[in-house]
Amino acid sequence: MFVTGLILVGVVAAAVYWYQQVVVKGKQCSSGVRLHGKTVIVTGSNTGIGKMTAIDLARRGARVILACRSQQRGEEALQDVKKESGSSQVVFMQLDLGSLKSVRSFAETFLRDEARLDILINNAGVYLQGRTEDGVGMMFGVNHLGHFLLTNLLLERLKECQPSRVVNVSSVGHNFGKIDFDCLTKNKALGLGTSFTQVMQVYSDSKLCNVLFTHHLAKRLQGSQVTCYSLHPGAINSDLARNVSSVLQILLRPVTVFFFKNTVQGSQTTLHCALQEGIEPLSGRYFSNCTVREVFAKAKDDGAAKKLWEISEKMCALA
């Protein structure tokens, strides 16, 4: 009986170790690319996987722009990234993706002050209902529309510095997403509900927008040497859910600690899409665990992607 118990404990321990190392930890970015002379923007890089992404890129020699909403948190992150990376080529620039005016101001300042843009990483995201400064649904506005405008405003600079890349951080949640174009047109939001399931649905919808945006952007970039990729970073133990109730955060804590990636592990697929040599023919595709993945038909629907693009253009006054 004692021996059987020891064997059972050993099997469980082995299973836990395997799960942590293979399933949770996942693959790592294997690229050894150096980035001296290159400039990278990482949105939402004051925390979580964005911050870890910025540290890695700075270590590789890139000039890294930390594009963050909060000046205080951004400046604190600036000191952390400089210290962790050992690089002085890190700059904080304020960017509120929930304000189209702020996005335009950021782009204007960047294009005036910075000569290059080699990699744009649209990492920032929120899980929160409400409205942006422009009256747009918060998750549509921040997770998609702000990045849509930012990318378009910086596209010519990316083309000038080609080969260059755009990386859009999405989520496996896009599989559960849908786009209600009637709701979007009438209410400037993907959904109006406030229950847990309704908010989760809108978040998934916004992540589907990321994948469709990438899909259509790749088509528009054909013939150039600018490529783009969307990705699922994994389930991350970060502060994305900081806006959910404290009770739910406490209940989820044991799950997130054991089953979720830490922020270093969660940054690996972003880094893979930003750096890996030879993936240029996969422009427009979706990645997970540093591997290209197939997506459902709705995530590569040319008609839906084009319609989303046109609506986004109108909302941003680009059309």
Q: Sheet harboring 226-232: ordered strands across?
A: 90-94, 63-68, 39-43, 119-122, 164-169, 226-232, 286-288, 291-293
Cβ contact 276:231 at 8 Å:
no
Cβ contact 82:107 at 8 Å:
no
179 exposure class (CB count in 10 Å sphere: 0-12, 13-18, 19+): buried
Q: How far apart are the first and last CA of the chain?
A: 74
Question: Cα 52–122–197 angle (5° rounding)?
Answer: 95
The two structure tokens encoding residue 159: 């083309």
203 tagged catalytic: yes
Q: List CB contacts of 148: < 8 A, sequence separation 6 or more.
A: 213, 312, 316
Q: List CB contacts of 313: < 8 A, sequence separation 6 or more.
A: 319
Cβ contact 202:131 at 8 Å:
no
Q: Which of 127, 203, 229, 286 is catalytic?
A: 203
Cβ contact 150:211 at 8 Å:
no
Active-site annotation, residues: 203
